[in-house]
């Protein structure tokens, strides 16, 4: 098994050095990338850009910040590095609005964000691939599903009420192995050590509850031979969580978690259904592993943003 993570030291070193790299103009870089992709891949890119950037007509932005301001990163620095990696192609003087962190509300003007609500008017939330080193981790050569333990593993920081409610319902259930990893808040009786991704993958089913916004572990679960168990997501990122379907890409449970035992029992007794979900999850992941396709998507989102979102 191999777990693909970005080396944080190299990631931050590259982030600090990005401004010293030679930069082509955006049009040239976009044209080069398009030549390297197939018509089918370009069609995927077009659809994804429409998904991430839903502003369709010229719109005013606040414009209090410029691309050059991304060169003065503050914590969390990864957001600045990820956005500047692509914004630099369009010029340092470009006006750009961004809201960094776990964003659960829609900004008042079109702004670059990592996350947004799935439902409602979310056009002002322009998604880009931010905080990528933490969120885009994937697994390769995981062991077969049928060789894994037939239980639900869950290791969570239990701060939010919806996570507390889940643990309160199922902490001692024989079908689950749950532990709280935060020492303040939650319930001291639930405390337990963190587990590595590899240790999680000893189990067939992995709990994936949203936290402040999306569930960070969902992406690596879907790249593995285990299955995510979760309610229908309420927030989405570059991974397009709003496109995921319960019973197709993950095991969907109700928002009040009342059908968890029923769902775990059904899928434990129906391995073919589980293998189909795993296959679908892997297919969903595949485009996100194409570096050139990912780069083109990010650049085209920004190109459209700069073309339509202007100063008053």
Which residue is associated with the tokens 């496109």?
Answer: 243
How high is the pLDDT of residue 154?
98
The 10s digit of each residue's pLDDT in 154-184 is 999 999 999 999 999 999 999 999 999 999 9
Dist CA 80 CA 101 (whole Å): 11
Beta-carbon-side half-sphere exposure of residue 132 (alpha carbons within 13 Å): 23
Residue 12 pLDDT class (50, 70, 90 cuts): low
How high is the pLDDT of residue 134?
84
| pTM assigned to the model | 0.94
Mean pLDDT computed over every residue of the chain: 94
Percent of the chain with pLDDT over 70: 97
CA torsion 53→67→111→305, rounded to 10°? -30
How high is the pLDDT of residue 8?
74
Looking at residues 12-37, what average pLDDT do you find?
83
Do 88 and 23 form a contact (C-beta atoms < 8 A)? yes
CA torsion 61→308→25→130, rounded to 10°? 60
Q: How many CB atoms lie within 10 A of CB 38?
A: 9
Q: Where are the alpha helices (DSSP H) in 101-188?
A: 132-135, 161-170
The 10s digit of each residue's pLDDT in 269-306 is 999 999 999 999 999 999 999 999 999 999 999 999 99
The 10s digit of each residue's pLDDT in 230-266 is 999 999 999 999 999 999 999 999 999 999 999 999 9
The 10s digit of each residue's pLDDT in 69-128 is 999 998 889 999 999 999 999 999 999 999 999 999 999 999 999 999 999 999 999 999
Dist CA 287 CA 173 (whole Å): 37
**Weakest-pLDDT range from 16-30, 113-127, 201-215:** 16-30
Residue 20 scores a pLDDT above 70:
no
CB-count exposure of residue 192 (10 Å: 0-12, 13-18, 19+): exposed
Beta-carbon-side half-sphere exposure of residue 106 (alpha carbons within 13 Å): 14
Dist CA 188 CA 191 (whole Å): 5
Domains and CATH numbers, the chain: 2-136+289-310 (no CATH), 138-287 (3.40.50.2000)
Closest CA to 125 of 213, 202, 188: 213
């Amino acid at each position: 098994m191999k777990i693909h993570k970005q080396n944080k030291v190299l990631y931050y070193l590259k982030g600090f050095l990005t401004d010293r790299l030679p930069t082509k103009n955006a049009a040239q870089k976009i044209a080069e990338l398009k030549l390297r992709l197939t018509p089918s891949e370009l069609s995927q890119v077009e659809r994804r850009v429409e998904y991430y950037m839903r502003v369709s007509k010229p719109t005013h932005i606040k414009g209090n910040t410029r691309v050059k301001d991304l060169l003065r990163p503050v914590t969390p620095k990864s957001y600045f590095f990820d956005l500047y990696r692509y914004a630099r192609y369009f010029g340092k003087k470009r006006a750009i609005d961004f809201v960094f962190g776990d964003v659960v509300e829609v900004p008042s003007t079109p702004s670059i964000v990592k996350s947004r609500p799935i439902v409602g008017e979310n056009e002002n939330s322009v998604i880009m691939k931010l905080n990528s080193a933490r969120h885009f981790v994937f697994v390769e050569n995981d062991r077969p599903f049928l060789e894994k333990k037939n239980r639900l593993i869950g290791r969570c920081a239990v701060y939010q009420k919806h996570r507390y409610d889940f643990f309160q319902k199922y902490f001692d259930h024989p079908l689950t192995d749950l532990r709280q990893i935060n020492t303040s808040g939650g319930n001291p009786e639930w405390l337990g050590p963190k587990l590595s991704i590899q240790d999680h993958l000893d189990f067939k089913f992995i709990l994936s509850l949203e936290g402040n916004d999306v569930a960070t572990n969902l992406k690596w679960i879907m790249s593995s031979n285990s299955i995510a168990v979760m309610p229908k997501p309420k927030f989405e990122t570059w991974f397009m969580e709003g496109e995921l379907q319960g019973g197709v890409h993950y095991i969907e449970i109700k928002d009040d978690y009342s059908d968890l035992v029923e769902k775990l029992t059904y899928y434990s007794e129906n391995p073919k259904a589980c293998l189909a979900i795993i296959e679908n999850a892997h297919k969903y992941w595949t485009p996100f592993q194409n570096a050139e396709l990912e780069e083109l998507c990010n650049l085209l989102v920004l190109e459209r943003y700069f073309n339509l979102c202007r100063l008053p």
